[in-house]
Amino acid sequence: MAYHVPALQNLIDKFASLPGIGRKSAQRIAFHVLNLPDDAIKSFSDAILEAHEKIHCCKICQTLTDSEICSICAQNDRDKSIICVVESPQDVMAFERTKEYNGTYHVLHGLISPIDGVTPDQLKIKELLVRVTENDIEEVIMATNPTVEGEATAMYISKLLKPFGVKVSRLAYGIPVGGSLEYADEVTLMRALEGRNILE
């Protein structure tokens, strides 16, 4: 292309490499960023560096935090006897948004997936076992996604936990709230039927 500005092209390429951003969006964002005032540019660039520098895993639950122990594990009014096992910190955020769950979490940072070369020892499973043995845990809720990998990981961990005599549960399957029976797939419908509740 005759019109080539290396610094601009580099910026567009960087944005295009982010998930969910195509070439056109990347170009639009790059031009937007170019037009930002100096201090906004500086603080944008700093936010990236700072986040990468400060954020690490919580010593207890392995979710992302900027202190030694995350804000959830540090709360005294949380029920420490319940652990909700999730794939990623994003899932922690999703549960926290419900404002209903009052237990703690454990972030695996992935799911067992032989096809992607992810083996159990690459996940934070060891840390979960340590937590279960060293603390008085009543229940572990397996809250991995209802995918093949999520199911396999939940099964694997529940088998590991069995010898410790801890209660292991799994999130309910069913029709999503606001969803339509007509468009639900067969497996979801079957699971919804299996998991039906008695109305009283």
Q: Which stretch binds its own copies (CB under 8 A): 58-66, 121-129, 136-144, 163-171?
A: 58-66
69 binds its own copies (CB under 8 A): no
- Angle between helix 23-34 and 6-16 (nearest 10): 120
Cα–Cα distance measured from residue 82 to residue 14, given in angstroms and rounded to the nearest whole number: 41
Q: How far is the CB of 64 from its own copies (least distance, A)?
A: 6
116 binds its own copies (CB under 8 A): no
Q: How far is the CB of 46 from its own copies (least distance, A)?
A: 8
Return the residues of window 16-35 that contact its own copies according to CB under 8 A: 18-21, 25, 27-34
Parallel, antiparallel, or unpaired: how do β-strands 167-170 and 139-142 relate?
parallel
- The answer to whether 151 and 171 have CB atoms below 8 angstroms apart is no
> Where do the H-state alpha helices sit in the chain?
6-16, 23-34, 38-54, 89-98, 125-134, 148-161, 186-194
**Among 43, 81, 135, 147, contact with its own copies (rule: CB under 8 A):** 43
Give 35 or 197: the residue with its C-beta nearer to its own copies: 35
- Record the tokens describing residue 31, joined without a space: 């031009």
Q: Which stretch binds its own copies (CB under 8 A): 44-52, 127-135, 145-153, 169-177?
A: 44-52
**Among 59, 69, 71, 119, contact with its own copies (rule: CB under 8 A):** 71
**Cross-strand pairs, 104:** 83
66 binds its own copies (CB under 8 A): yes
Give 26 or 142: the residue with its C-beta nearer to its own copies: 26
- Record the tokens describing residue 8, joined without a space: 């601009």
Token pair 């797939």 is at which residue? 185
Nearest to 109 by CA among 172, 166, 61: 61
Residues that bind its own copies (CB under 8 A): 1-8, 10-11, 14, 18-21, 25, 27-34, 36, 38, 41-52, 54-55, 63-66, 70-72, 75, 88-90, 92-93, 96-97
